[in-house]
Amino acid sequence: MAESETLVRQWTLLRILSARRLGATYQELQQETGVVRRTIQRDLTFLASLGFPLQETVGDFGKKRWKIDDDIGLTQLRFTLEEAAALYLGRQFLEPLAGTLFHTGARSAFQKIRATLGDAALCHLEKLASSFYHARQGWTDYSPKARLIDDLAIAIEERRLSVITYQSLRSTEPVTLYDVHPYALVFHRSALYLIAYSQDHDEIRTFKVDRISAAEIHGLQFPAPKDFHPQQYLEHSFGIFNGQGEPVTVRVSFRAKVVRILEERRFHASQKLIPSAMDLLTRSFNCRRLRSSRRGC
């Protein structure tokens, strides 16, 4: 967990400096983070070596301040009006991640967009936004798991060995899984899932984040997965859970009266609609066969 705390502290330093145009002194950063000056100095030097646009300046009486360099880095990002409007209108789709670093950063960006556009433009955008509504029936509020999701995101990015406490749908007691290698977080049908390699089972498994009660991020790194990509991994899955073996073709026949419903929605990337001579509609899928007991569900 120490490694995770270090990354979160360094991210906090970046957020503080991003919010202060004139920067902050070591004393001010100490008050904000609660750590000693030597730790802050080491963190800032490390972040600058990674390429973050940090700059140390010396003011009156030799007082040192750290700030974000306005001439390079993130300040070069510019959005057109259409891009800013699109980001602002899409804010409702981030609500399920409320409480996480992703949602907090997005809210800050939306506030800046609001301040830049002005009341008249915002009024127009709000009218446009009212024409799109994101139904939230069945959605999950992940704000109580904000720290957990942040830790998992760091573990994925840094390829950190993790220990998760997980309770499957059929279990009555939490089960601790050791040597879990987090690969990706996938948002599927208003729920968040973790795809990870479990050394206990010697295979990649899918874990629903709702059922993860704790996650401990270790300093030990695992090797980068070979040729793993969430989209490719789930390419032959029917839903979020992946099967085993080679893909098989499945054909399903439907009555003609449901043809329009089938044509309006795509249930699988490989599906093909084939009209049949018996006034039926045949739909084929190319997916892997799931075992009788879903893994990780």
Q: What is the 8-class DSSP label of residue 52?
A: -
Question: Which residue carries 């089938």 as its tokens?
Answer: 262
Residue 257 has φ and ψ, to the nearest 5°, of -70, -15
Nearest Cα to Cα of residue 289 among 234, 238, 251: 238
- Could you tell me which of 219, 225, 222 has the C-alpha nearest to residue 204? 225
Output DSSP code: residue 164. Answer: E
pLDDT-derived band of residue 176, with 50, 70 and 90 as boundaries?
confident
Mean pLDDT across the stretch 223-229?
Answer: 82
Does 180 score more than 70 pLDDT?
A: yes
CA dist 254 and 265 (Å) reads 15
Strand pairing class (244-255; 280-289): antiparallel
Contact 204, 196 (CB under 8 A): yes
CA distance 20 to 35: 19
**pLDDT confidence band for 260 (50 / 70 / 90):** confident
Domains in the chain, CATH or no CATH each? 2-74 (1.10.10.10), 81-129 (no CATH), 143-232 (2.30.30), 235-289 (no CATH)
C-alpha to C-alpha distance for 284 and 273, rounded to whole angstroms:
7
- What are the residues whose beta carbons fall under 8 Å from the beta carbon of 3, sequence distance 6 or more? 158, 160, 217, 218, 219
The distance from CA 253 to its chain's CA centroid, rounded to whole angstroms, is 38
Q: Is the pLDDT at 79 greater than 70, yes or no?
A: no
Q: Is 248 helix (H, G, I), strand (E, B) or coil?
A: strand
Please compute the mean of the pLDDT values over residues 110-131 and round it to a whole number.
68
pTM for the predicted model, two decimal places: 0.58
First-residue to last-residue Cα distance in the chain: 26
Q: Kindly give, in sequence order, each residue whose CB lies less than 8 Å from that of residue 184, ignoring residues fewer than 6 positions away.
A: 156, 194, 195, 228, 230, 233
pLDDT at 2 over 60: no
Q: Which helix (H) or strand (E) holds 228?
A: none
Helix or strand holding residue 217 (H, E): strand 212-221
Each residue's pLDDT tens digit, 232-245: 888 888 778 777 77
Supply the DSSP symbol for 297.
-
16-41: per-residue pLDDT in tens? 887 777 788 888 888 888 888 889 88
How confident is residue 296, by pLDDT bands cut at 50, 70 and 90? very low
pLDDT at 162: 92
